[in-house]
Structure 1
């Protein structure tokens, strides 16, 4: 069995081209000014024609032993580079490195057609009233419903389902098996495999029969949003569920009806956001955060992983814990409990369960 190359080997880059793409300064040409960069790698794995980056003293040993032909680092760490390595200097080495990898591997930036083609594939099901601009690619097995509109440059991968009346902007990508109903997408939106957008929110009037509440809103996703695999975003009940421009959502996230998420937020895997909650711009939620309904998290606030947010959070703060509170207060509580436990152990005091 041959070993596949899922991302084609890129055209090589000269050191000058690396400098241009990264914005970094070439401080040392290394063994050869004619070096061609043909790939990227970690400090430990990169070879003589690969580019790596180094921005943390934690990996100093790997840096000194690295066989990478070129590396982007900062002014402080550059003197530790091994002999023969081409060295680039940047204020933010990781960001400069990513700029180069984006140029080398553009196909890795969004889902690609599963069938490896352009245009409408045989086996796609497109309703006669759907309107697709020139340059749309649709894989076999995809279903596009009546009245749907899709902009040029967009890719609809295999077995994706696009419901009636959905609007998808230009240069978007909808991954395999994803479903979109009651949804409006802006431009350059990426939806990964298995994501579900626009299904009805969880709304019931409690009683003997738990009367179902009609969910008649939409999901509105603005430009440059990315939504991870198997994430679910419910449509609104009366108002829209909104995902703001530039927001990035990880895999396995649940966003309930009427939630409004601001611009350029980060929401990490397994987070759950209850209905009618608002995240203002630049909010960061760590993995497995739970947010109760009808609260507001202020602009620029950060919530630590595995925290439980039970009410409003002010702008620009860092909170953690369950229930979430300012990080310093949370750390003091943890330290106090730890000290109490240690004191009890030293004194021989019984702890719960000792009597069993």
Structure 2
């Protein structure tokens, strides 16, 4: 991969060592000492790069590939030209992702604004009642409120605000311009630029003279190893908690309403909106710009296509799409039928006179 100056290449690792880290195996141990320095897509791979393939559609690209190694499953190894070392993995995509993290560990967390590993910036404001464990880094102009607790190895980004009594676990990374209020956050959590956590949920009761505000006295609870993308907003609970489960990954610009409960190891793509008190099970995948009505339950393992509107409960394990969301195969059949009808009508009608 062409180097861009932001992420310097790795000094180099032997292919056999990288394969061991990935839990993979070499196709030929004669290539054990090949040096790998970077990851790259197959079309741009050069000497020192490792890339991956997932199907036979990559056959033509392999013919001109200049990579120093290719990750693939056993069934595709025969496609790789003999001069290119092969790393055999049962999950090439995941192995490639792991290789990227090994070669570029700094890229696994938000970009930092200080080079130190144990420093508190002079311009940071830390309340004397806050408790910071050893190894906490606080970047310039960050604010840490009274009673806050921050665990060992966590970094608080420039101009971020950690509110009173907030608790953040160990080895976390809070990027720049983040605000966190009324929240308990676990270990290894990554929060990207501009995220807002713990502000009021949207709760009002219609009254004779207009809307009456409902107090929002709950919390946000974020479990271990969650990652939250830039400018996402997570409201605190009204009289319950808003919960994000362990290992869940949330993209940029997602809105999570009050009392929402998201399970473990979910993936939620950008511009999704989850209305209040929605319950999402474990392992759910939600495509971009999906809207979910409040007070519904999404079962474990559900997949929801982009731009869908979810109005009712969805049973576990299903794939859904459309507005309102329905089983994906039904939705795709309807779309195909509409396209056929639209095309037929256009041919029959001819020109508009």
TM range (shorter): over 0.9
Give distance in 2, aligned partners of 1:20 and 1:137: 33
Match for residue 143 of structure 1? 143
- Kindly state the Cα deviation for residue 57 of structure 1 after the two structures are TM-superposed: 2.2
Q: Secondary structure at the match of 2:44?
A: coil
2:266 is the alignment partner of 1:265 = yes
CA contact (8 A) 1:29 1:87 kept: no
CA contact (8 A) 1:54 1:63 kept: no
Match for residue 106 of structure 2? 107
Give distance in 2, aligned partners of 1:215 and 1:333: 42
**Which whole-Å deviations, capped at 9, do the CAs of 1:206-235 have from their partners, x for residues lacking one?**
233211111111100011111000000000
CA contact (8 A) 1:249 1:267 kept: yes
Q: Secondary structure at the match of 2:58?
A: helix
**Which whole-Å deviations, capped at 9, do the CAs of 1:259-318 have from their partners, x for residues lacking one?**
011111111000000001100111111010000111101111111000000111111110
Match for residue 314 of structure 1? 315
CA contact (8 A) 2:16 2:32 kept: no
> Can you give the 5+ residue segments of structure 2 that lack an aligned partner in the other structure?
none
Q: How does 1:176-215 map to 2 (within 5 A)?
A: 176-207=176-207, 208-215=209-216
CA contact (8 A) 2:16 2:33 kept: no
- Kindly state the Cα deviation for residue 26 of structure 1 after the two structures are TM-superposed: 1.0
Q: Secondary structure at the match of 2:7?
A: coil
Match for residue 165 of structure 2? 165
Give distance in 2, aligned partners of 1:318 and 1:338: 22
CA contact (8 A) 1:113 1:156 kept: no
CA contact (8 A) 1:29 1:85 kept: no
Give distance in 1, aligned partners of 2:28 and 2:44: 21
How many residue pairs were aligned?
349
Q: Secondary structure at the match of 1:44?
A: helix
TM-score by length of 1: 0.94
Q: How does 1:2-81 map to 2 (within 5 A)?
A: 5-28=5-28, 34-81=33-80
- Kindly state the Cα deviation for residue 56 of structure 1 after the two structures are TM-superposed: 2.2
Aligned alpha-carbon RMSD (Å)? 1.7
1:9–1:25: structure 2 CA closer, same or farther, 3 Å change rule?
A: same
Match for residue 293 of structure 1? 294
CA contact (8 A) 2:26 2:32 kept: no
2:322 is the alignment partner of 1:325 = no
TM-score by length of 2: 0.95
Q: Which runs of 4+ in 1 moved over 4 A?
A: none
**Which whole-Å deviations, capped at 9, do the CAs of 1:143-200 have from their partners, x for residues lacking one?**
0000000000100010111011100001111110011001110111110000000000
2:153 is the alignment partner of 1:153 = yes
Q: Secondary structure at the match of 1:263?
A: coil
